Structure 1
């Protein structure tokens, strides 16, 4: 049973900020900043591709609502949404992170130091799409 399923079953305590028949949203127990929320389907789907369309739509609607609520409550400099799949989904359960960002909060994007790429190189790399 995933952590999300345990929260849905009330086997693990969580601060739930939204719940419907298909979707639940709760505070991250190890937040980047206060206001960091996970939005999840109640049933286990491992990746974005696995989500049924109606659940995908509801998760995005919840994200929009939470965005407005986070903006109002925390007055951040920005808001980030992140969703990981495959080996980077440590819960083995689809979840969308939404959290407020503040200048100087130390959250950072770390690239492979590839640098700015010429358009021809990008076309070559993307031609399989």
Structure 2
């Protein structure tokens, strides 16, 4: 397997490490949106959030939460943007959460894609039902 983030975990690619434990590694993004932009990855290779074992989700996101606090405090940020892609726009096929420090008028505008509206309440209800019906047991 040729995975950049697995190479980071192995120590074959040098990064600025922010935090690490047996399950998680957090490091500075080499192309940050703003200084202090951190990536949080599981050490074990999984491509997407849906591939992460159920028992790993809570511990992983507890560390994402801790890193978010650290980014906000460490960068004197008023808030943060926390995001994760599954497949589409996922630059490295290894689960990673972006934690980006945010401040008012920092130039980052809302979401990065066009937003729309549902035609009416019936369309919204039908869409909610489709998602609800697809929930795994």
TM-score (norm 2): 0.84
Q: Matches of 2:28 and 2:48 in 1, distance apart?
A: 20
Structure 2 partner of 1:120: 122
Q: Matches of 2:49 and 2:120 in 1, distance apart?
A: 30
Q: Give SS of 2:130's match.
A: coil
Change in CA separation of 1:14 and 1:52 when aligned onto 2, cut-off 3 Å: same
Q: Which whole-Å deviations, capped at 9, do the CAs of 1:57-79 have from their partners, x for residues lacking one? A: 22211112112212222221211
TM-score (norm 1): 0.88
Higher mean C-alpha displacement, 103-112 vs 4-13: 103-112
Unaligned runs of 5+ in 1: none
Change in CA separation of 1:33 and 1:57 when aligned onto 2, cut-off 3 Å: same
* Contact 2:118/2:124 (8 A) holds in 1: no
Q: Matches of 1:47 and 1:112 in 2, distance apart?
A: 24
Question: Is 1:45 aligned with 2:69?
Answer: no
Change in CA separation of 1:125 and 1:10 when aligned onto 2, cut-off 3 Å: same
Pairwise CA RMSD: 1.7
Q: Which whole-Å deviations, capped at 9, do the CAs of 1:15-46 have from their partners, x for residues lacking one? A: 11111122111110011111111111112111
* Contact 1:23/1:55 (8 A) holds in 2: no
Runs of 4+ in 1 over 6 A off after TM superposition: none
Q: Which whole-Å deviations, capped at 9, do the CAs of 1:75-98 have from their partners, x for residues lacking one? A: 212111100002321201010111
